Amino acid sequence: MKKCVHILDTNASIGEKLRRALSPYEIDVHAYSDGTAFLDDYPGERELSNCIIIDANSSSFSGLAMLRRLRASNETNPIVIVTSTNHRNLRRVALRSGATEVIEKPFLDRFLDVQLAGDTQSEETDFTAASQPVSPVNEDEITYRVIRPDDADLETSFVRNLSDSSRHFRFFSGAKTLPPQLLYDFTHPKYPESFAIIVVTNNGKREVQVGVGRYSRTKVPGVAEYAVVVADDWQGKGIASHLLHAVTFAATIGGICTLEGVILRTNTKMLALARSLQYRFDETYDDVTVVRVVKELRGGIRNEDA
């Protein structure tokens, strides 16, 4: 059965861009600029929805009020709030009210604009061909974009140049070289089954990869495992947080129900990131050396601790 994304935004161009971007994946987009029209039309479609996207800053309706109304009606589909500003209080209130994720609007605009400009090099990565969200560092320094098949050398160098501890945290081993099949899988994501977004900078001569976030479906229906890693010299700049937001956003639109990660107990930075983004810690996991963290993208459960 064909899936659908609903978007409530007074900017009609966003819905049209999203429609064109998702069409290769047989995901319909229903766009609304009016809250009443959305409520009149939406209930009959809810069983088909991958997610609902709501503009928090509209002058014609209250995005947060719409979020609360939907959750009060026992809506369980994922709801992503899009905001024009990076406001921590809005994020806190939205998550407490039942939002699945909060994304900055400049991220969504660029997420779509570059893709529709024909920058894609592979049909498999069409949806997220490139993006550059509001950056935690100088915007000219880094670019966020989807990984591509011709990025094998970038990915290889990135893994090789990680410190021993960062490589161990990511792969649970000290191996500096990725097996050929794993390298192929990493550089050939097949959205929505898998997805990867990388962060690159330019050293004056060539691109250098400084971070990556990805997810891949597991054998459990509706469940995907995520991973995020940032080069040692670029840690502490907020990049990992941006990567995990992007991964969550892509997974939500792609119909993933649950994101999970397995993190070494000694990897305190990633554990802190997961906790700050409202991941649940699975205390029943049977390996005492690692922690399983889980984020339910469906269910609409309010997080009173957000």
The arrangement of strands across the sheet holding 223-230 comes to 142-146, 194-202, 207-217, 223-230, 258-264, 290-296, 280-282
Q: Do the domains 124-296 and 3-111 match in fold?
A: no
pLDDT in tens, 242-261: 899 889 988 999 899 999 99
Q: Give the residue ranges of the chain where pLDDT is below 70.
A: 1-2, 43-48, 86, 107, 110-140, 299-306
The pLDDT value recorded for residue 120 is 41
Phi–psi pair at 80, nearest 5 degrees: -105, 125
Q: How far apart are CA 258 and CA 152, in angstroms?
A: 28
Closest CA to 128 of 280, 250, 264, 243: 250
The pLDDT value recorded for residue 202 is 86
The pLDDT value recorded for residue 24 is 84
C-alpha distances (whole Å) from 173 to each of 109, 158, 177, 225, 273 are 38, 15, 11, 18, 22
The pLDDT value recorded for residue 262 is 94
Q: How many CA atoms lie within 13 A of 273 on its CB side?
A: 22
Q: Cβ(214)–Cβ(197) under 8 Å?
A: yes
Whether residue 189 is preceded by a cis peptide bond, meaning omega within 30 degrees of 0, is no
Per-domain boundaries in the chain: 3-111, 124-296
pLDDT in tens, 142-157: 888 888 999 999 999 9
Residue 18's region, left for phi above 0, alpha for psi from -120 to 50, else beta, is alpha
Residue where the block lists tokens 């529709």: 116
Domain 3-111 -> CATH class? alpha beta
The pLDDT value recorded for residue 130 is 41
The pLDDT value recorded for residue 290 is 92
The pLDDT value recorded for residue 129 is 41
CATH architecture, range 124-296: 3-Layer(aba) Sandwich (3.40)
C-alpha distances (whole Å) from 105 to each of 74, 166, 283, 305 are 27, 31, 35, 25
